[in-house]
Amino acid sequence: MNTTIVAQLQRQFQDYIISLYQQGFLDNQFSELRKLQDEGTPDFVSEVVSLFFDDCAKLINNMSKSLERPENVDFKQVDSGVHQLKGSSSSVGARMVKNVCISFKECCDVQNREGCLRCLQQVDYEYKMLKTKLQDLFKLEQQILQAGGTIPQVDIN
Amino acid sequence: MEVCNCIEPQWPADELLMKYQYISDFFIAIAYFSIPLELIYFVKKSAVFPYRWVLVQFGAFIVLCGATHLINLWTFTTHSRTVALVMTTAKVLTAVVSCATALMLVHIIPDLLSVKTREMFLKNKAAELDREMGLIRTQEETGRHVRMLTHEIRSTLDRHTILKTTLVELGRTLALEECALWMPTRTGLELQLSYTLRHQHPVEYTVPIQLPVINQVFGTSRAVKISPNSPVARLRPVSGKYMLGEVVAVRVPLLHLSNFQINDWPELTTKRYALMVLMLPSDSARQWHVHELELVEVVADQVAVALSHAAILEESMRARDLLMEQNVALDLARREAETAIRARNDFLAVMNHEMRTPMHAIIALSSLLQETELTPEQRLMVETILKSSNLLATLMNDVLDLSRLEDGSLQLELGTFNLHTLFREVLNLIKPIAVVKKLPITLNLAPDLPEFVVGDEKRLTQIILNIVGNAVKFSKQGSIYVTALVTKSGTRSPDFFVVPTGSHFYLRVKVKDSGAGINPQDIPKLFTKFAQTQSLATRSSGGSGLGLAISKRFVNLMEGNIWIESDGLGKGCMAIFDVKLGISEQSNESKQSGIPKVPATPQHANFTGLKVLVMDENGVSRMVTKGLLVHLGCEVTTVSSSEECLRVVSHEHKVVFMDICLPGVENYQISLRIHEKFTKQRHQRPLLVALTGNTDKSTKDKCMSFGLDGVLLKPVSLDNMRDVLSDLLEHRVLYEAM
């Protein structure tokens, strides 16, 4: 175990995760999620997060189908989808996604198809962006673990 | 001639001889008759005579002899046959009795003789006992004398009195002519005559200690008879006609304090003895008796003990006097020091006040001046004035603080405060400067860092501010990392051991910067007051140089340690300090894993194995809630619909968490249905908690009306869930987690 490499990686991890918070991709809920990960459940966060992304993909797909034809928009369905998405994103701490969902819901309430489409696009973009970022983060984690170090706890204030 | 039956005596009647025989027989008879009478008379008088019947026998014998002789009187002349017959009978009887008596006497006389020997034996014994008693009496007398002497000697602790009394009493008891005591001189080479009983002695009469007679006496613990002519005994003018009495000398050990060890009774390796010389009166034929010698030896021992007691007492008196003197001196010194400190403090306070007032004026007016219209040169000048006066004000504060720290009159003001908040506030204070210099600051608080601690908040803030401020001040680029953790052991300095006690812990704060770094040779100087490293970089940043010194003092007050590590110039440096803080009893408890507040029943401290049911339509949300509860140790079953929930729920589940996200009423129905399911077994019904994103009163009311036991706001943090669970299980109702 090379301590300098480990320290370096840990520093990198710390900086990266701090930047994610600072840029608004993640909020406090994500750190709560990280707290739940221990020796008994070492992949908890990545599991939840991948479930979330799958969920996102599925919901977005459904919603886009509902919003496809302008004359026959099932806003109820869209609304439920947005609701689900909002719930999921707030559970994992995906801040950007959650914020978009809020505006998405507003559009849905007033049955604004254009607005909904725009939000849908944004949601899609946001979740994909977050997915990439988190994948990088998990990669860093793996590197640290392989080098024999421990994942540092980072307190975000 | 007539024939008569008379007996003719054998011989012719010689008239004179006959007369004499006649008279003798007569007297013999009288004597023989009187002896028994006398015997009877005297035996009757005496009480003890064992052989009475012997007397009778003897008496009979004598009476018969007497009778015989009496009857003999009649046979001198012609006597009839009757008389002859009586005579014969009497003689025969007498013969029988005499023989019997003779035979008996053979038995009796040895007995009588042995009585005599016994008497002789007893007389001897009595004489012997008398002698012995005489001896005992003398011994007892001696003992009494010794006791009395001892009493006299020990009744005083004054050395001179002891010795004088000894001599006097000995002289009296033994009726001595002279008694003298020779003490060793300071050099130990001579014996000096110190005390005598009667005769005046010349001053400084000394005798060398190495005399053979003295060695002889010192060599044994017994009293030794010495010659009256030896130098120690020659105390009075020698005059020929005196026949000097016997002299005895004995050694008196002089024990020192240092000889009294508890473990071994002092071996007499002290070799300091005094010599006591006792002289019997001249011209008396008295000799020293054994018991007198014993008396002398005992007295010598007692004197030794008494003298050492006196010596000890003298020592302790002296020591006590010395201590009293020292006490007085110390007291005086202390009072003087206190006065000095007070004077200094007064001076400082006054000067401080005197200095602050004009300082205040300068700062205030300069700031005001800044607000007015100024030319650029003027503005620059005013800014410089302001900066300088601020610096000066800080300097004054620092000096005052430091002087109070140095003389130990500064005391920490302990209080309970939030450690996490303290760090954040310090960082907030520094952030503006850091942001300007584009130095990001990261704070990393260890998860086991207690939140509420007991300590001096203000001073701790000062320390952290100082260190972090230095990091910011001396860094031009890079970033600053502040780490706080609980340290258990193994600190840098070998003579500083960290022992976490029950309610205390050691906080370690590490501040790493990537700034100019410090030359390792300069590191020791950092904490000395007013010393600054000579590099240009530090010079230009100003500062009084007192900051670190003060921080070090504060850290030391908090029983901690502070040091700086640096890899060299340009490589940044890391400042680390440990301080001891107390753990606050109250609020930390609820934040720690599973430890309940005191009134809680123990079974709710641990959620292990607690069966809960989670109902949530949203998969992600469901998974997160499950993870939360699993982390707390619960056994979680998940369902994704109300029907499934109803099917699965049983009395084994203690809590049911249901996600109520849709505003419709349907979700609340599940609560009613669960209530229905458990109407028969009311007490086995699990607690129902709603998880919702809505926190308004209507939601809460709705929940209550539908029989829910509690409402939780999503998303739930780990700590929140923990509190909620323990509260819930304790009170079986929860409506505060909003």
* Predicted confidence (pLDDT) per residue in B396-426, tens digit: 777 777 776 666 667 788 888 888 888 888 8
Is B252 in a helix, a strand, or coil? Answer: strand
For residue B65, say whether it is annotated as part of any ligand binding site: yes
C-alpha B488/C-alpha B498 separation (Å) is 6
C-alpha B688/C-alpha B679 separation (Å) is 15
Q: What is the pLDDT of residue B126?
A: 96
Question: For B688, what's the count of Cα atoms within 13 Å in the CB-facing half-sphere?
Answer: 24
B485: left (phi over 0), alpha (psi -120 to 50) or beta: beta
Averaged confidence pLDDT in chain B = 78
| Nearest alpha carbon to residue B445 among B435, B437, B454, B453 | B453
Q: Is the pLDDT of residue B691 over 90?
A: no
Is B416 in a helix, a strand, or coil? Answer: strand
- CB contact at 8 A, B604 and B726: yes
CB nearest B631 (choices: A36, A83, A91):
A36
- CB contact at 8 A, B260 and B276: no
Q: What is the pLDDT of residue B202?
A: 61
Q: What is the pLDDT of residue B506?
A: 87
Token reading at B105:
């006497």
Q: What is the pLDDT of residue B540?
A: 42
B621 phi, psi to nearest 5 deg: -60, -40
B661 to chain A: which residues are within 8 Å by CB? 83, 87
Burial class (CB in 10 A: 0-12, 13-18, 19+), B400: middle
Tell me which residues of chain B, numbers 698 to 727, contact chain A at a CB-CB cutoff of 8 Å. Answer: 714-715, 717-718
C-alpha B727/C-alpha B687 separation (Å) is 12
Of residues B614 and B148, more confidence is placed in: B614
Q: Is the pLDDT of residue B658 over 70?
A: yes
Contact A32 B714 (CB under 8 A): no
Mutation to test the B interface, candidates A35, A55, A91, A131, most B Cβ within 10 Å:
A91
Instruction: Kindly give the parts of chain A with pLDDT less than 70.
Output: 1, 155-157
| Nearest alpha carbon to residue B58 among B12, B114, B115, B100 | B100
Tell me which residues of chain B, numbers 680 to 699, contact chain A at a CB-CB cutoff of 8 Å. Answer: 693
Q: What is the pLDDT of residue B601?
A: 40
Token reading at B610:
């607690």
Q: What is the pLDDT of residue B320?
A: 94
A40–B contact, CB cutoff 8 A: yes
Lowest mean pLDDT segment, chosen from B80-84, B196-200, B285-289, B587-591: B587-591
| Nearest alpha carbon to residue A87 among A42, A40, A51 | A51
The alpha carbon of residue B547 and the mean position of all alpha carbons in its chain are separated, in whole angstroms, by: 48
| Nearest alpha carbon to residue A73 among A122, A119, A112, A123 | A112
Cis upstream peptide for B440 (omega within 30°): no
C-alpha B189/C-alpha B512 separation (Å) is 78
C-alpha B109/C-alpha B112 separation (Å) is 5
Q: What is the pLDDT of residue B329?
A: 96
Lowest mean pLDDT segment, chosen from A74-83, B213-222, B709-718: B709-718
Is B277 in a helix, a strand, or coil? Answer: strand
Q: Is the pLDDT of residue B490 over 70?
A: no
DSSP B517-536: ---GGGGGGGGSTT-----H
- CB contact at 8 A, B498 and B488: yes
Average pLDDT rounded to a whole number, residues B221-245: 74
Mutation to test the A interface, candidates B449, B624, B630, B657, most A Cβ within 10 Å:
B624
pLDDT in tens, B325-381: 999 999 999 999 999 988 887 887 787 778 878 888 888 888 888 888 889 888 888
Mutation to test the A interface, candidates B620, B714, B722, most A Cβ within 10 Å:
B620
Give the pLDDT band (50/70/90) at residue B200. Answer: low
In the chain, the amino acid numbered B259 is N
C-alpha B75/C-alpha B81 separation (Å) is 10
Q: What is the pLDDT of residue B223?
A: 87
C-alpha B154/C-alpha B141 separation (Å) is 20
Name the DSSP class of B603.
G
- CB contact at 8 A, B577 and B509: yes
Q: Is the pLDDT of residue B435 over 90?
A: no
How do beta strands B480-487 and B452-455 pair? unpaired
Token reading at B612:
């809960």
A60 to chain B: which residues are within 8 Å by CB? none
B425 to chain A: which residues are within 8 Å by CB? none
Q: Which residues contact B341 (CB under 8 A, 6 or more apart)?
A: B407, B409
| Nearest alpha carbon to residue A91 among B721, B620, B663 | B620
Give the pLDDT band (50/70/90) at residue B107. Answer: confident
Of residues B680 and A104, more confidence is placed in: A104
| Nearest alpha carbon to residue B301 among B422, B414, B457, B149 | B149
B714: left (phi over 0), alpha (psi -120 to 50) or beta: beta
Starting from the edge strand earliest in sequence, which strands make up the sheet with B687-692, in order? B635-639, B611-615, B655-659, B687-692, B710-713
C-alpha A43/C-alpha A31 separation (Å) is 14
A18 to chain B: which residues are within 8 Å by CB? 442
- CB contact at 8 A, B199 and B186: no
**Residue B569's CB: how many other CB atoms inside 10 A?**
16
Interhelix angle A75-92/A95-109, nearest 10 degrees: 160
Q: Considering only the C-alpha atoms of chain B, give the largest distance between any 2 of them, rounded to a whole number of Å.
A: 221
Q: What is the pLDDT of residue B271?
A: 65
Contact B623 A38 (CB under 8 A): no
CB nearest B444 (choices: A28, A40, A155):
A155
CB nearest B620 (choices: A32, A88, A154):
A88
* Residues across chain A: 157
Q: What is the pLDDT of residue B281?
A: 83
Token reading at B46:
């005496």
B572: left (phi over 0), alpha (psi -120 to 50) or beta: left
pLDDT in tens, B597-629: 444 443 344 677 788 899 888 888 888 888 888
C-alpha A18/C-alpha A152 separation (Å) is 12
C-alpha B209/C-alpha B187 separation (Å) is 11
B625 to chain A: which residues are within 8 Å by CB? 91
C-alpha A144/C-alpha A9 separation (Å) is 6
